[in-house]
């Protein structure tokens, strides 16, 4: 298992992969669904965060 940090430069490569991030003191694994047109956020199925994660402000990793 490898973890690759998501940046605006590589965000397009990993659509459909599982991602790993921390919120509320716990780690969450979810599947990446879509990317915003500005390449600064990704859409996931996690209503607590309004189904969006900002890749500029969070450390988000792709699980490979």
38-60 pLDDT, tens digit each:
889 999 999 999 999 999 999 99
Q: What is the pLDDT of residue 1?
A: 85
d(CA 18, CA 30): 5
The enclosing domain of 51 has a CATH number of 2.30.30
The whole-angstrom separation of Cα 18 and Cα 14 is 9
Total domains in the fold of the chain: 1
pTM beyond 0.95: the answer is: no
The Cα–Cα gap between 49 and 26 comes to: 13
Structural domain boundaries, residue 29 = 3-63
pLDDT tens track for 1-45: 899 999 999 999 998 899 999 999 999 999 988 998 888 999 999
Which pLDDT score is estimated for 48? 92
Q: Tell me, rounded to whole angstroms, the distance of Cα 35 from its chain centroid.
A: 9
């Amino acid at each position: 298992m490898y973890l690759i940090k998501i940046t605006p430069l590589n965000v397009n490569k990993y659509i459909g992969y599982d991602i790993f991030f921390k919120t509320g003191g716990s780690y969450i694994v979810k599947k990446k669904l879509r990317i915003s047109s500005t390449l600064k956020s990704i859409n996931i199925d996690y209503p607590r965060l309004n189904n969006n994660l900002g890749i500029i402000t969070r450390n988000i990793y792709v699980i490979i």
